[in-house]
Amino acid sequence: MSRILRNFLASLKLVAHTCLLVPSLLATLLSLRTPHTFVLMRSLVLTIHKLSNLIRAESLINSPILFESYWSKWYFGKRARTKILTLEAEAESVYRRCGHFDATKNFIELTKIQTKESRQLLGKDTLLLGPGWISAFGHLSNLSLFPKIEKLEWRKFESLLIAGSQTSNPAMLDLYKSWYKVLNFDLRTQITFDLYFRNSYQNMNAIEVRDSQLRDLYTAQFEIEEAIRVKFGDSFHLLEVPREVAALGKSYLESHNFDPESWFVTLHMRETGDIGKYKGGDDVNPRTYVDAINTILDLGGQVIRIGNSSMTSLKDLGVSSRRVLDYAKVEGKNPQLDVYFLGSCRYMIGTGSGPATFPNEFGRPVLYTNCPAIGRTFRLRGLSTPQLLRRRNSGELLSLNEMLNSPFGWNVSPSNLEIERVPNTTTEIVAGVLEIHSLTEKAQSGFWIEPNVKCHESRIFSNWNIGVPIADSFLSEYQEVFCG
């Protein structure tokens, strides 16, 4: 088949795709009967332009015609994409070997390239977030960053777009729809869209907080949260539990013989499924949380454990009380109940996993137990009991400065032959529960505590602060680590 013929057939296919738009375009044009016709027309033209780009991409990559395959390789193989892939691989390698702090330079360089690509395609004031922002539960809370940046008047966005057809929790995503427009695609269109716009997706590991001021994710979140407190006060929080969700939650608790008007604690324990082994930085032994559950019950509270069905049953751990709901093991979960449990709890007990970051967005504190990377924690209401690091040969604990100079202080990788992670003990978790319970009884300062650990030994980390302040009971037990 000659090149001219292949070109002609490719053009025919593109024309056919475009013709499918004609009925909807006519309907839109006929509906323009308001004084704002010019504005609507401009919006329509921009929409058609972006849609035509998508159709063009689809026509190029889904056809068996050789000419189109050649064109797609040329179009999608631009130098920017090659550089992005290289930087992504380098950043991942540095993160695993050295931790988040050392990978920051790679993250920022990657964001610079993607920001340039995005502005060329979408303009300066439009952000396009890829599927990764909503696919994992923990990533969803990062959507709070850009509305808060706008509230601080650091930047102004014309459009905040999310290109994602699959989300870990649609009810939580719904709470952000007053700020974001979600582009829902079927799988085929999602793949096409990703291929065309992936260079322009907003990077999650580093963001532009102000014009030309880029920060890694954790530094950005810390700066934003502290600025929000200064401008709007300690009680400010971005999200509210919708009334219908609150009603649903109370009804659900009542149907399970809970007192819907009494307080409860939400618990999440990330685990490997093998409760006898401690395999990674994110994973915990759920048996070490049993006494904490009983402590909450003794204080008069109720406990709701959230998570996935693969988690160890609380009954298998010896926990059996009508005031304990093992929601993780419930079939047919309702995403709205996750919103209720995280947004209406008295406080949450969390581990190194996504749900721990959400209570803060509703103004609720968290006890962040077994925090696996002391160097990089979000700025959250509440307290933490971090994992420590220990030398295997001598059993000596690393000091704060040594932890910050170790990759394990900045990532969640499992231990190696020289250094091992030290998980929280049952006693340490219970002490943390008593401390955060006391904090919620006082209900002062919006449950915020000022950062209480700072590195004075190293110039490199002189500007570093702990994101979730460490419980006093934990600091007292390990004075040689933090004060020695």
CA distances from 420 to 175, 329, 354, 394 (A): 40, 31, 23, 11
Specify the pLDDT at position 60. 40
Residue 377, Cβ neighbours under 10 Å: how many? Answer: 23
Residues 6+ apart with CB under 8 A from 35: none
Domain(s) of CATH 3.40.50: residues in the chain: 243-482
The answer, as to whether pTM is greater than 0.75, is yes
Q: Are 221 and 357 in contact (CB under 8 A)?
A: no
Angle at 26 between CA 25 and CA 30, to 5 degrees: 120
What is the Cα–Cα distance from 287 to 273, expressed in whole angstroms? 12
386, 351 contact by CB (below 8 A)? no
DSSP one-letter code for 142 = G
Is residue 288 within 8 Å of residue 424, measured between CB atoms? yes
Tokens 């700066």 correspond to what residue? 223
CATH code of the domain occupying 243-482: 3.40.50
- Which alpha helices (DSSP H) does 99-205 contain, by range? 100-122, 132-135, 137-140, 145-151, 170-174, 187-197
Q: Could you give the angle at which helices 100-122 and 79-98 cross, rounded to 10 degrees?
A: 160
Residue 260 phi/psi, 5-degree rounding, is: -65, -15
Please name the residues in contact with 438: beta carbons below 8 A apart, sequence gap of 6 or more.
Answer: none
Rounded to 5 degrees, φ, ψ at 426 are -55, -45
What is residue 142's predicted lDDT score, i.e. its pLDDT? 96
Q: Count the residues in the chain.
A: 484
Residue 420's φ and ψ, nearest 5 degrees, are -125, 150
Distance between CA atoms of residues 94 and 425, nearest Å? 31
- pLDDT for residue 317: 94
pLDDT of residue 14: 56
Series of mean pLDDT values for 10-residue runs along the chain (484 residues) = 55 58 53 46 54 49 38 50 81 82 90 88 88 92 97 95 90 96 84 82 94 92 96 96 97 95 96 51 89 97 94 93 94 95 97 91 97 91 95 94 90 83 96 96 83 76 86 95 81
Helix (H) or strand (E) segment spanning residue 8: helix 3-19
Q: Is residue 276 exposed (0-12), middle (13-18) or buried (19+ Cβ within 10 Å)? A: exposed
Report the interhelical angle of 3-19 vs 37-61 (nearest 10°): 140
